Structure 1
Amino acid sequence: MVFSWFNTSKVDAFIDGEVAALVKRIPPAKLEGSGAAVKKAGEQLAKSHNDLLRRAQQFVQREKPNLYQKARIANRMKWALLEAKYPKPFVDELAYALATVVAGANSQREV
């Protein structure tokens, strides 16, 4: 059916779960200010960044989303993180990396 092409329920559920887990592990408030706590939160965020990209790649390989659904992954992640009040530079970097990983996830080479 043509309208199934626009069905993003699996993508939305995946992104909602990932954002909720990230907010729970590293609340955006931990990234404000300065000091050792902020540095540690930044390091945790970098590790979470890599883990999220790995899970996104696995999701795309498992679910085989179409072009619209792949674009939805990065876009929904970006706006969900901005609404959660994460720093815009981090969000932009993650959205770009996520779009790149998602686009190349079904290719034969490792991204």
Structure 2
Amino acid sequence: MGLFGSVSGKQVDEFAKGLAQEIAKRYPPTMDKGSGERKISQKRLTNILEEAFNKAADFRRQHKLGVYKKARLGNTFRWELSELGYSDKFVETATEGLVVYVSRK
């Protein structure tokens, strides 16, 4: 695996933003802030995040992401979650999980 991988930076950005949007559909930012009507269990939230992380790991395997593209994926994902209105704690936790999943061999 090289440093740059076989996919463009724009494609990585689009994938990361789509991943964040997918999480937002299933776990809206209002639920993260506690202002939503419904509460979600920790187990359900864990399942939502793990499904997203597994998609990211599959994307990494398909496109052979290099070091820089993995970093770009994590950063774009982080900024998209922040822009969607998630708490800093959630953004940090979700981004850390994504980076761990994508970095595994």
Same fold (TM > 0.5): yes
1:44 aligns with 2:44: yes
RMSD between aligned residues: 2.7
CA distance in 2, matches of 1:31, 1:17: 19
For CA contacts below 8 A with separation 6 or more, give which structure has more relative contact order.
2
Query: Measured at CA, do residues 20 and 33 of structure 1 come closer, stay the same or move farther in structure 2, by a change above 3 Å?
Result: closer
CA distance in 2, matches of 1:78, 1:97: 11
| Bigger mean CA offset, 25-34 vs 11-20 | 25-34
Runs of 4+ in 1 over 6 A off after TM superposition: 3-6
Question: Deviation at 1:89?
Answer: 1.2
Tell me the TM-score normalized by structure 2: 0.80
Consecutive unaligned residues of structure 1, counting only runs of 5 or more, are none
Task: Quote the residue 2:103 is aligned against.
Answer: 103
1:63 aligns with 2:63: yes
Greater fraction helix = 1
Consecutive unaligned residues of structure 2, counting only runs of 5 or more, are none
Task: Quote the residue 2:93 is aligned against.
Answer: 93
Percent identity between matched residues is: 28
Tell me the TM-score normalized by structure 1: 0.76
Task: Work out the number of aligned pairs and report it.
Answer: 102
